[in-house]
Amino acid sequence: MSDPGNYAGNTDRSIGQLVAAATAEMSALVHDEIALAKAEVRQDVKRGAIGSGAFIAAGVLLLFTMPMLSFAAAYGIHNLGLGLAWSFLIVAGAFILLAALIAFIGLRKFKKIKPPEKSIASAKQTAAVLQNAKPHPRPSTEAAAIIKRSGSSPAPKGTGGGAGQDTASAVARSST
């Protein structure tokens, strides 16, 4: 591209050469843009994978700390003067209540899910319009001309059929 004779402003090149050069430049530009997009997406995917791995590791560590926190809570209640068994039952009951609360919230969110009413109404409206639609009638002269060209029926008398057929119908018949 450093050749000064290849610039678009050079008057020694023909229009065809200019168009070819422009096409080549556009093709190179599109390829470069695609390569840049791939590099950006690859980088974003890598960041997303690292981020999701970090969240998974944090979740696993949190899951492993739950038994320790449960024992600590139970022994903390036991130190307040309650029996050890009752302390563990209180902690287990707290977890059961927490699980029931989370399940109740989840159930309420599921009940709020509705079918896509706008999409269904639009689809029904489109179906109703298409059901009532009728094909556009062609004028009889145009239909006769199409039938004549397709060769599906003999040409009317007086048109000089046979040798005077147009080449389009001959090509159509030869291709089938």
pLDDT bin (cut points 50, 70, 90) of residue 56 is very high
pLDDT bin (cut points 50, 70, 90) of residue 125 is confident
Contacts of residue 76, defined as CB under 8 A and 6 or more positions apart, other chains included, come to: 87
Going from the C-alpha of 161 to that of each of 8, 75, 143, 147, the distances in angstroms are 56, 107, 17, 13
Between 83-87, 97-101, 123-127, the lowest mean confidence (pLDDT) is in 123-127
Over residues 96-125, mean pLDDT: 87
Q: Backbone phi, then psi, for 149, in 5-degree steps?
A: -70, -35
Q: pLDDT tens digits, residue range 126-147?
A: 777 767 766 655 556 666 666 6
